[in-house]
Structure formats: C-alpha cells, structure tokens
Structure 1
Amino acid sequence: MRHSRDGAAAAVLDQDWDVVVVGGGNAALVSAMSAHDHGARVLVLERSDVTFRGGNSRHTRNIRCVHEAGTPYNTGAYTFDEMWKDLCGIGTGPSDEELADLTLRESISVPAWMTAHGAQFQPPLAGVLHLGRTNTFFLGGGKALVNHYYRTLRSLGIPVLYQAKVTEFEFDGDRCTALLVEHAGATHRLRTKAVVTASGGFEANIPWLAKYWGDAAYNYLIRGPEHNDGLVLGKLLEAGARSAGEEKGFHSVACDARSPKFDGGIATRLDCIPFGVVLNNRHERFYDEGEDIWPKRYAIWGRNIAYQPDQIAYAYWDSKVQGMFLPPMYGVFSGDSIGAVATQLGQDPEAAEATIAAYNAGVARDASGRFDPAGKDGVSTSGLAIDKTNWAQAIDTGPFYGIPMRPGITFTYMGVQVDREARVRREDGSRFANVFAAGEIMSGNILSSGYMAGFGMTIGTVWGRIAGREAAIHVRD
C-alpha cells in the first residue's frame, strides 16, 4: 500500500490493523519497522504533514550507545560501566534502575540495527563538543535519518497517514479496540489489535507546563513542533495509565532569546556558556559555568535559567575564546567594553561591568596559560561566592561579546509508566493488554532531572524496538 499522500487514506482508515503506531519521529518509526520485522501489519499515524514529519527527531544529530572498542564512527570504546556512571552522574540519576540498565545493554546492538534499516553515519567529529568517542553522528543529521527511515517504511509497504490526529482511545476493559482519528476534516474509528504510542511529550502545551511552573512557563521557548502538546499522553492518563517521571522534569537548554516560540530546533541552542560568564537580569552570576564538559552539563542550563527572574539570562565572553564554539544562529552583540555590550542587551552597563570585574579578580594570574578548551582543565577561580571550576579565564580582552538566553524546552519527562516489554502500566498495578509506549512519552521511566547528549535517541530506538516487537508478539499470540 502506498503512503496516504498518494490517495490511499480512505483505504487505510477502512481496514483492521495488527499494530497502529501513533507518532512519526524516531521512536515511532523504529517501532513500526520492528513490528513489521516480527510479522505484523502496521500503520503509522503522523500528526504533522510531510514537510514537518518527524517531530523532535528532525532536530537531532547523534545517538549515545555502549561500544566496547573504537569503530569507524567513534574514536574509542565507551563501556557499559562508563555510560552507567555518566547516567548516574546527571540530575538525580535514573528513575528506574532496572529499565535504565536494560536501555544501556540494549544500546549495544542499536547502531547495527539502525544501519540495517537505512540509517547512515559519519566519521567522528573533533573539537570542543567532546562527543567523538561516546556518540555516533547521523550523516546529514536527524532530518536525514528520519527521511531514511521513511524510505525504508515505503520499501516495506508500511503506510503512513499524515495529518492524522488521535483524539480518543476506545477500551474494552484493559484492551484498546479502536482509535478515533481526525483526518481531512472528519473523525474516523480505526480498529486495531495493538497500539504503540510514540507521540512525544507535552512541552508545547504551555498551560500544562504552567500547572507545574506557573507563569514562568509562558517565557519558555519550545525547540520542537507545536504538535507536541501531550494529547495522546493526556488520553492515556485519563484512561488510567500510571504516570512516570517528575512533573516538572524536562530536557532543556539555553537558547537564543530571539528564537521563535516553537520549532527553532538545534540551531537556536547556545554553546558559549563554558567559556564565559552568565548573569541574570539582576546582574548576578548564579551557577558555575565550568562545572563539566559540554555533553554532560549543557542540558542543565535551560532549567537554571527557568529559575531566574523573568526566565532570562545573559552570557558574556571576550575575544580570547570567540570562535571556539558553534556561532549563534542570530549573531552576537559586541563592543569595545563590557558596558557597551550590556547596553545593547538591555542590562545596566555599570552593574554588568562590576560583576565581571569581581569575577576577573577571582581568576588565577596564570589562567590563560593553563586554559584548555579540549577538556576539563581545572582552571578555576577562587574566593567567589560561586566559583567557576574550569575554563576560568579573565574576560578582559576586547572586543567583548554577549547574547540573551531563555530556556529552550526539548521534551518533558513525565509520561506513562512501562514494564520491560514497553507495555503501559495502569494505576491499579495491572497493565494494558495491548498498549505499548516508546520514546519521549515514556522517557520519565529512565530520566529524572538530567540529560546527556544523544541519550533521547537511545531511549527512542531501544524502546521503539522493544515496543514494536512486543506489540507484534501480542498480536501473533
């Protein structure tokens, strides 16, 4: 059967399906291919149109997996023990250690599986991202990966219904028997033997975020599509699904404050923080900018800024480090003094200069000689209320630079609880017989309050494979 954009929508909606996958990003596509590999007739429902298909996965670049030796795409080994230590070192550690352990162990076979299903990778990257050893980069980025997977779906004969919005689940006891789907101005009842929900979190639903964050949520930027409003998640919770993960938990980064409200993607992220200082709108430093290398600590900065007054902050740096990180998409503010930059940013120039002068007074005299952007260099300040523990050079060499930042929310962690088979658990302790989940909608089973680069794609791929396989086995048995 051809994709619905070629006129097959009516035929698709009229059939009974073994497995219906709700979502169109990485976890959904992996689920669909996995279910097909295990003998199921599969339909994919993507809420977006063809142009913007793929959800947050369009904005990704890499995946983090265990590998015991170097590969053509990694510079060295990244063992289970090291990855487990990294995971335990972010936020408050894994939400469910058993499921986190399973995720890491299953990740070992992920790159080969991805390659067999159309993915392409590129040689490891060098530079200050520090990811060449631990992470594997997609050739062409996430959009290319998504396109490869959609081509694989087409070759396997798996239909995709675009602009299909799931509005209700029909249940008979613990079993989902049908979905109500809005498509082309009409509502259709779609019959299925099993469902995989892989439709993302609720980060684009600002009123839902505001339930936990208050009015601050209205100052957040949403890095992914406006469709990620948690509609499917909400319907599962209404149907008695047990929740997993912190209500306030999300993956968020520092984004350019000038970015669009929705779907700015990876290009709006800022990487300047470790090499400068960050002030809030009261001209105060509020966190150690040099706590750790970028892949382990970049995702704390969205949350850091979310707790600041008016959810805004400002990064300052000088010409010694300009060019050592990815350039901001919308350019930077610059001037021959900190005060000149502060004025352009809307900050008080004297207050900003005073804070940075106090920071400079805490910098070691030989800091520039020991500065090393390639790794944690131990070049720290001393005697400050908040010391910077790495890359702490004085900001004293013009021209000077600055940029405004807001929290950029990638995805929320609170979702549905699953078991080892990716089957959704119910509030009463039982499980739905035929409802499974993969990706961001169940990431709270693994993640608590921290994040490490590439791990969202790991969760989506590992649990997509599990959910698709188990849904197909359920139908077969």
Structure 2
Amino acid sequence: MSKVHSDPRSPDVLVIGGGNAALSAAITAREAGASVTIVEAAPKPYRGGNSRHTRNFRCMHDGPLGVLTGEYTEDEYYQDLLKVTGGNTDPVLARLAIRSSEESYRWMEAHGVRFQPSLSGTLSLGRTNAFFLGGGKSLVNAYYRTAAGLGVDVIYEAKVFHLELKEHRVDWVDYTQGGETRRITPKAVIVASGGFQGDTEWLARAWGPAAQNFLIRGTPYNRGVVLADLLEQGVRSVGDPTQCHAVAIDGRAPKFDGGIVTRLDCVPFSIVVNKNAERFYDEGEEVWPKRYAIWGRLVAAQPDQVGYVIIDSKSLELFMPSVFPPIKADSIEELAGEFGLPADKLRKTIDAFNAACGDTSAFHPTELDGVATSGVAPPKTNWARPINEPPFYGYSLRTGVTFTYLGLKVDELAQCSTDAGSVRNLWAAGETMAGSILGQGYLAGFGMTIGTVFGRIAGREAAAYAS
C-alpha cells in the first residue's frame, strides 16, 4: 500500500457519493449545523452519479401539488409498488418513503429544483410523477449551487476504498486522489455511492457470462467498492445480487453512460422477438411506466441477450421519439435482413400475430384498452393491432442496467448495522440501500424518491450524532 497522507479536514459529516441522495444528505446535515464534506469519485463535469440521467420524482399527494394533477394516495402508491416488486419489499421502509415524498417535493423546490408538467407520450404520468425542468443534470447542478452557498466542501476525483470499522463505529476513511492515498477522520459517515453495476466482473459473478453483453445506462463510477468493503467487514446486507433496475434499451447505446435517452418506449405498440424471430412475452401486459423495467430481464434471458422491436407506420407517433432513429424497411423481409433475422421465420411470426388480432376499434394508446389477441402464445393483452402498414420499423434491444439492488441494510433512521448491533456513526442513502425497499422490479421515479427521503433522514441523523 502506498503512503497514507493525512487529510487535514475533519468534518462532522463525510458524505461518500455525489448524486441526489448524497446531496440531499449533505444539504440537510449542513442546515442542521454540521460541517460537511462530500467525496465524489467522478471528475466535476461528470458529478452526480446516476441522478444526472434522471427525469422525474414519484410523489404521493392528497390533492393537486405543483405540477402534479389530481391525487395519488399513499395506498395507491404502495399498491403500485407491490405490483412491480411482487410484494418483495419492506413495508415499513416503503411506506416511510412514500409518506415522506409529498413533503420532499416542497423541500426540493425550496433547495433549487424546478419542475415542469409531464412530457407528452409518457403514458399518464402527470398525476404520479413530477418532471425536473432541465432533467437530472439541472437538479444536480441546483443542489451543488445550494450546497456551495451553505459552505459544503466537495472533493472531486476522490475514490473511497476503505472505511475502518472498530467497536461499532467508523474510525477513518481512506480514499485516493491524484495518485495519493489520503485518510480523513469524520465524526459521522453517510454512504451514498450507489450500486456495483459499473463493475462488469461483479455483474458477471452474479449473472454469469450473459452480463458481459449488458449495457450500463448510468455512470461508470458506481463500482461498488465501498459496498464491498463494508460487506467484508460484516455490515449487514440486503437484496439479491442478481436483482437490479434493468430495462430494455436501444442496442446501439454506448457501454456506459447512455442515460435515459437510450430507453425505448415503443414496446406496448410492437411485437418483440428474439434472434430466432420468436415472440417471448406479452408486450401489452401493463401501462408502460409500471412494466417497462421487466423488459431488461426478459431480454437478458434470450439468446445473446438481444431482442428486436417490430412496429409499423401507424404506431410510429404513439411513443416518445428515440435518440437514434429506428431502422426502416418497406417489407418485413427487408427489415429481417437489416437485423440478421431469419426472414421466413419473422414473416411466419408476424402473420400468426396478425391473424390473432381481433376488433381494434377500442384501441386507446394511453390506457389499458383490452384490445387483445386470441389463439396465439404468448398473448398480447392490450394494444394488439396487426403489424401490416408499411413502411415497417424496428429497434434492437439490449439489457441496460441502471443500478443493482444488493446493498446495505438500513432501519427507519437510515442507520447501518452489523450482527452485533448498530454502527453508531454510519448511515446509507440512495441506490446503495434501495434494495431495502426494491426487492425486485422498479417503479418509474421511485429511485429518486428513495434517495431524497433517506438522504434527508441520513443527513439529519448524522448531524445530530456529530453534535
């Protein structure tokens, strides 16, 4: 090990990470009177972790709230969560996140975040999700401006690799910066450094060789180093390493950092086939914000971890435009050739699907319409219209991992523990503890809810401990 240089800073609260959860924690702790230092692994232009790629925040409200319309009650929100997780959640922590989201909306506005009405083509999210004006990058920048105004210290390109645990507390934290190893001794520590999805070798240990074909939608800096270090020292874990927020994204996306724009919203109006030109799941199972996150896992289970979306011209304007234009062809056979699919097999699959479509007069693109197939497997239970109007369009699909669910187990105060009891000065927030609530599946905008709520709790508790 290289020589360890002592960092002269000795903040009350050290926040590890630089995204939404970390910033929510840092601002809250600073406003409570604590001195706060953030250590962010990324360079300044890439600060913010996955939060800079986000679009919206899922929020409970009993009546109209800001840009949100109508009401979205605690019980409805919780039932939506149960649907996507299959009940694999901690009900106490889940309801805490949900109940706290309404007040968090106001807190976010008070700290520089601006919202806008939901975008067209987002399938009725205006009631449940508040969209960030300028996207996640604007949210991150607003929080950094607020933090700077409060006197929060930020160290960039600081890669934490070890927290020294002794007798139920963290004694010191080691990080590297500029080729040197530095040691800092805070009174309290908040871990908000994300999952391990940036480490493809760790993904492969969990998933097997298929993970080598996954794309990582977010930051390459979330490599799980702090998570692994704490788990090795006996800090309690939660979640399954094979569970993650994984969506089907454009197969042309980059390996890392493609972000939200690589997502494809066309699946409900399509058929999806694998490399053998076979359909493998019901494309119309549920409205897209509730079910889109299952498609990453579905594609991961297909040969070569790839799928293909096929639509026709009448569906092209029904979903949010893609960042890369779709592949266009005048015939199904020509489209098959563009993707290297067996043309005769794709024609047979589409003919069988078309024949199974019935009356489409009730078709409604933004709600469950019951326009279903009959006599084909798998069925399509909504939005089932024949694919028969040229030109035809298609996209390749790959599994895009956003964040992993293996993380640090926390209680209602966001505090970490070992089998011997609480770690007195260690808290966690955001993706690094989201597996406490998300056992599987995902609900659009809920990651930002978890990060904001538990970041604020962790900041409050850490500041109180430090004082």
Q: Could you say which TM-score interval applies, normalised by the shorter chain?
A: over 0.9
Name the counterpart of 1:266: 260
Instruction: Say if 2:279 is the partner of 1:285.
Output: yes
Q: Is the 8 A contact 1:117 1:152 kept in 2?
A: yes
TM-score with structure 2 setting the length: 0.97
Mapping of 1:39-438 within 5 angstroms? 39-364=33-358, 366-367=359-360, 369-426=361-418, 428-438=419-429
Cα deviation code 1:298-320 (max 9, x no counterpart): 11100110111110000000001
RMSD over aligned Cα atoms: 1.3
Deviates more, 1:103-112 or 1:452-461: 103-112
Q: Is the 8 A contact 2:74 2:95 kept in 1?
A: no
Q: How far is the alpha carbon of 1:113 from its aligned partner?
A: 0.7
Supply the distance in 2 between the matched residues of 1:127 and 1:261 (Cα, whole angstroms).
Answer: 27
SS in structure 2 at match of 1:57: helix
Cα deviation code 1:263-286 (max 9, x no counterpart): 000111111100010001121111
Supply the distance in 1 between the matched residues of 2:363 and 2:404 (Cα, whole angstroms).
Answer: 36
Q: How far is the alpha carbon of 1:128 from its aligned partner?
A: 4.2
Deviates more, 1:67-76 or 1:53-62: 67-76
Q: How far is the alpha carbon of 1:127 from its aligned partner?
A: 3.5
Supply the distance in 2 between the matched residues of 1:128 and 1:173 (Cα, whole angstroms).
Answer: 50
Gaps of 5+ in 1: 1-10
Aligned length: 463
Cα deviation code 1:354-375 (max 9, x no counterpart): 11111111100x21x2211121
Supply the distance in 2 between the matched residues of 1:429 and 1:409 (Cα, whole angstroms).
Answer: 34
Q: Is the 8 A contact 2:31 2:150 kept in 1?
A: no
Q: How far is the alpha carbon of 1:97 from its aligned partner?
A: 1.2
Supply the distance in 2 between the matched residues of 1:304 and 1:317 (Cα, whole angstroms).
Answer: 19
Supply the distance in 1 between the matched residues of 2:7 and 2:356 (Cα, whole angstroms).
Answer: 67
Q: How far is the alpha carbon of 1:12 from its aligned partner?
A: 10
Supply the distance in 2 between the matched residues of 1:118 and 1:384 (Cα, whole angstroms).
Answer: 52
Q: Is the 8 A contact 1:195 1:436 kept in 2?
A: yes
Q: How far is the alpha carbon of 1:429 from its aligned partner?
A: 4.8
Aligned mate of 2:432, from 429, 441, 447: 441
Q: How far is the alpha carbon of 1:325 from its aligned partner?
A: 1.0
Gaps of 5+ in 2: none
Supply the distance in 1 between the matched residues of 2:295 and 2:288 (Cα, whole angstroms).
Answer: 11
Q: Is the 8 A contact 2:196 2:403 kept in 1?
A: yes
Q: Percent identity?
A: 51
TM-score with structure 1 setting the length: 0.95
Supply the distance in 2 between the matched residues of 1:243 and 1:284 (Cα, whole angstroms).
Answer: 39
Q: Is the 8 A contact 2:276 2:342 kept in 1?
A: no
Q: Which amino acid aligns with 2:446?
A: F
Supply the distance in 2 between the matched residues of 1:212 and 1:405 (Cα, whole angstroms).
Answer: 22
Q: How far is the alpha carbon of 1:107 from its aligned partner?
A: 1.2
Name the counterpart of 1:31: 25
Supply the distance in 2 between the matched residues of 1:12 and 1:259 (Cα, whole angstroms).
Answer: 42
Supply the distance in 1 between the matched residues of 2:119 and 2:161 (Cα, whole angstroms).
Answer: 42
Supply the distance in 2 between the matched residues of 1:127 and 1:183 (Cα, whole angstroms).
Answer: 44
Q: Is the 8 A contact 1:130 1:293 kept in 2?
A: no
